Structure formats: C-alpha cells, structure tokens
Structure 1
Amino acid sequence: MAIECDDYRQVFISDAALMDLRAPAEFAKGAFPTAISLPLMTDAERAKVGTCYKQQGQQAAINLGHKLVSGEIKAERLRRWCEFAKNHPQGYLYCWRGGLRSQITQSWMQEAGVSYPRIKGGYKALRQFLLNELELQVARQNIILLAGRTGSGKTLLLQELGNAVDLESLARHRGSSFGAGLMPQPTQISFENQLAISLLKLGEKATQTTIMEDECGHIGSLMLPLSLREKMAQAPVIILDSSLDERVECIFDEYIQQRFAASLVHYVDDAFAQFSVYLQGSLFRIRRRLGGEAYQQLNTLMQQALVQQANTGDANLHRAWITRLLRDYYDPMYDYQLSKRPRRILFRGNALQLKAWLAA
C-alpha cells in the first residue's frame, strides 16, 4: 500500500532527505535545503508530455510518458531512486502536487521491492506550509537586531548564539560590495524556504527572542520577505563595538585570507587571477559612491598589494586599502544610516559584553 506523509512540520524539523521528482527546470526555480533532484522526466520529456496533454488529453500524455521513460532509461532512474532510498531510509519523495509523477515513481519502486513514502500534496503543499510558517514565526517571535560597523564581527557573534538566524549565510552573500561568495546565491524561493525552516526550528525550541543582523531590505540579489522587513524596521538594536584595528583584521581574514584560500580550492590554476578580479570588481562597483579621486587612490593601494602578494606571497599590504575603505567610506555611511533611521538601542559593547548581556 502506498504510504503518504502529511506531517510537514516534522519533515523540516528532522531535516529529512527529500527526493525531488520534478523536472530540472522546476527544481532550479526553487527547492528545499535537504532535497536532491532525481527527476522522473527531463525538461524535454516533460515538455513533450505537456504538449500531448493539451492536444490529446491525460491518458495519451500518460502513455507517452511511459514510452519516453522506459527500457534502459527507466532502469537507470529506478536504480538511482532505490539507491537514494537505501541511503536515506527516513526520507520522502514528491513531485509538484503529489500526483502522477510521485505515484508512478512510488509504484515502480514498490515493484522493485522498495517501499518509500511520498509527500501528500507534493512540493506545493510543503512550500505553502513554509510560507504560512514564515508569517506565523515572524509575527510570534521577538526580534532583536545586531548592528555594528563593517568588519566588527557580527557574523562570528551570530554563529556563537543559539537563538540567531544568520541571514547572510542563508543568502550566501555578506551584504556589501565585497560580499559575493564563490557559489551563486540561492533563488528567491529557495532563500525563503531556508529562512522559514530556520525560524520554524527556533520556534520549536520555544525561543522567544531571535537575534538577526541589522540588514536593509535586500542581501545581494535577494529580498527579505515583506513581513520580516516590517518587523525589523520596528525592532530594537544591540550594537557590537570593535576598534578600527580589530575590524581591519576581521576584513583582512575574511576577504583576503579566507577568500584566497577558497579560490585556490575552487579555481586551482587560475586562483590568483580570479581572486584579483573579485577584489578589483568589488571596488569598481562602488566607484561612484567613493568619488573618482578616492577610488583611484584605493585602487592604486589594492594593485600594489596584489603585486606584492603575487611576487612574494605576502598579503599584508592589503591592510592599507582595507583601513582607508573602512575609515573613509563604510564608517561614514554607517553613521549616516544610523542617524537617518533612529533605533531603540538596548545595549552596546564588545562581543564578550554582548554575549553576557544576552545570556542575562
């Protein structure tokens, strides 16, 4: 007998493995963090079946689907589904609405001796559950925003807290011109799914206060949900204070040392060239806001640092342009934004003081 699951909350709380049977193009638009794309049909096959359905009806489309996914093609896909089920015995499968694609896959797996549950209502039901949960959790939870100057170590502090949501990590972007990661950002739908799951898990722990970084309405190319933006606009703030020297070291470690190490793994032979393109492109994007003269001066310092790093492996010269960028660009911008949007400040101090205040 076919097994269905409609306990969507438990699916996400348990981080259950999910077999996504939708076509690759559907998966690319948005997915869940623990989902793996193992489609019943390719995009081309799905398009043919869709055309057949419109022209000749459902049964003709089903017949065509069985014809397209048959023989060795069917055997290979069935092998991958059964292997997934073996590796993830507590998982589930689903298609778009829990209809024919998931039912056919589940039936074929049962014929092969593998009983695997499917999600009732499919992806659409899971997605709707998360959208509802997102609104519920945003309304229910008391949000406190963590603010501070660029490089003050807000992300490091958030990662040490048990009641925080690291929006930038979910968005795979640090929020600044230099914030783009080596991996592309998730789609808007995938980001919303991940955010909703994070809030859901905090809600399950009966967390009444959630700490988030003080973000504007977007992170890179992704928008924060409207309800969250409105809640954050009214939320009180705690401020992380760090000295300029501490912030220079934080940025140096993150955007120079860590980024270059990651580039070596990601690009291998072309690592330094790609690392240079990242730094120069990030600075170029804010040239208008810097002003022509300031941009040229910073660019010169950056070029000198890159030349020395390329010739000797010594990256220390990067601290010169980082110091000027923080002091002359990011700090004034932070002060302006803070004055433009007065906030209720609950506490301010260094990382140790903030953690002690939060714990109390």
Structure 2
Amino acid sequence: MAFLMGPRQVGKTTLASSVVESSSSNFYFNWDRTDHRLLFIEGPEAIARQAGLMELRKDKPILIFDEIHKFNRWKLFLKGFFDSYEKLTKVIVTGSARLNIYKKIGDSLMGRYFYYRIHPLSVAEIISPQLIDGEIRLPKEIKTADWEALLEHGGFPEPFLQRSKEFSRRLQSTRKDQLLREDIREGTRIQELAQLEVLTELLRYQAAQAMDYQSLAKKVGVAVDTIRRWLEVLKSFYFCFSLQPWSKNISRSLIKEPKLYLWDWALIEDIGQRHENFIASHLLKAVHFWTDRGLGEYGLHYLRTKEKLEVDFLVTREGKPWFLVEVKSKAKALSPALYHFQEATQAAHAFQVAFDLPYVDRNCFEEKGPILVPAKTFLSQLV
C-alpha cells in the first residue's frame, strides 16, 4: 500500500484521482460519500466485491481509499483488506493528520505500506514536474509571473493558479475553519477552539523564529504545557512544522529550542519571515521527497550558539552535514556564520540565498566554499 499524507487541498485527491482515470479497472472510494461509507463499514469483502477483485484481469487494479482515516476502525479495515487481497490489487490511501500520527503507532501495519509526504507546489516542480534520478537538478529559470504568484499566494494549487488576493483570503479562511471546526474538533479532545484559533493567528507572526512557549501561553491564556500540546496537534494536522537545532560538533550550541514555520507561507505578512519560511518549505519538501523515494535518510535543522551565532538551515544526508543555507531578502556580504559553521560541520556547501538577485544559469552545487546565490537559481535545483 502507498500512503499519501499532507495538508488539506494540497492535491492528494487530485493525484489519486488521476490514477483512477488512467484505467477503467481502477476504483475510487471516499469515506465522505454515503454509499462508499456503507461499504467500508460492511468490511473488506464488500469493497472487494464492488471492485470485482475476484474477476480475472490482465493487470492488478488500483484502489484509492480517500478520507478513510475518519472511519474509527480504519486501521483494522486496512490490515484486513491488505492481508486478504494483497495479491489481487494495489492500494493508495490518502489522508492528513491521522495517517501522520499512525506512523508512530502503526505497528499492526508494519511492512505493509510505504508513505509519501505531499507538499505544496515548489519552484522546481513548477518549472519541470518530471522526476530525475538523483537529488540535485540542473538550474532552470522560472517565469517571473509564476515566481511572484508562488511567493504571494503560496504553493497550494488553487490559490497559485487563481492568483487573486480575494480568492486566496477566502480559501485561507475556509481552510482555517475546516482545520479548527472539522479536523481538530472531530479528531481530538480539544474544546477550547476559540483560544486555539488565537494561537494559530499568533503563529503567523512567530514563523521563522525560535519558539517562546511562555509568551504564547500568556497571550493565549493557557498553561505552557497546553501550548506545547496544541502545537503538536497543529503540526499533526499540517498547519505548521518545526526544526530542531543541530548540536553535533557545535560548541555551546542550543539543543532544545525549535524554530517554527507554516505550511502555507502566504499567511505570513512580514516579508523577511515569509522569505525564510519559503526556503524552509522548499528544503523540507526536498528532504521528505529524497527520503520517501529511498535515496537515503535526509534531515533539516538550523544552527545557533548561545552567543547567537546562527545559520538558518542545515541539510543532512545519512546523519552527516551536507549543505548550509542562510536566507537574505537582499544581497549582502557573506555572513561570517557561514564560514564558522562550514568549518565546524565540514558541510560540503554553504549558500547565502538572496531574493533580490536575478537568476544565474549556473549549478551552485559545483561550489564548495561559502557563496552568494540567487534564490531563483538555488530553488530550481531542488524538488
């Protein structure tokens, strides 16, 4: 089985539906449809019968189970279905938070699935959606209109394609209501939704900063432990994500304070914070994709010492530093921190990525020492 995990409206269902439409032998089942829900409740045999799995076929049909995580017995259903019909079909399961949580508690399905994390659109994907064999692409310039739309409206497909401020605001409002009043209310025991909504608004201004739990707790009017618990819920529902500091071989490094970013960078008003979140989202998409595809084990961190010497991002490969990234809205002299941390980590590359520099048709990963690179060039070489 393949699990497609990611936030609402990121394109999971569209991706799965395109698989169904590729052949009349494939089938799509959605928990939100009453007739499909009755089949799920009846059990694996009912789904198999509806899909005609006992009929002789040239190729295995592909079955898509959408929103099945809303079924309170979905884990038992999947295990039973897989064990009974593994040789007769292939299965794609789509979902958001609970599939992510399930990764931590799902030993009953261990060995029965691969998971793939679906992210918003990125620079490289917009330029060329075709896959490559390795990790790093050759650079290619993105159209100016696409670049500006991606920065302003975010990478969720609908607002990116519509390119309307009014549409983007309406969709952001709808997504927030669905998150709070459907996903979280139905999927957790949190009752204080009004205070949780205040927290989501505060996080729009907290993005790209180290977490200050005490300050957030005071502003929201709850205990620090409650803030920590709510943030984990928001992360599990793909509202935000956090990065941990890298401390190996770093003298006097911070070891506990995470930095927080939003999945939808269009929610962030401050341009500097939005730029950093934009890069963070692209890097997270890259490390997730490389890992999920089986190219290796990749990680994303930041670097900071107690003396406040900092570099925004460190990408690791097989547990070892690979490249450093410092983000600047405007081109400036290279940060001394890049030199310091490249020497300390022995990372192969150190980039200072600037948003105001024009595209340069040059592979920046050919450079070893700290170097100033255009954001358009750097991001075009990722995923």
* TM-score, normalised with respect to structure 1: 0.29
Based on CA coordinates, which of the two structures has the bigger radius of gyration? 1
- Bigger helix fraction: 1
* TM-score, normalised with respect to structure 2: 0.28
- Bigger strand fraction: 2
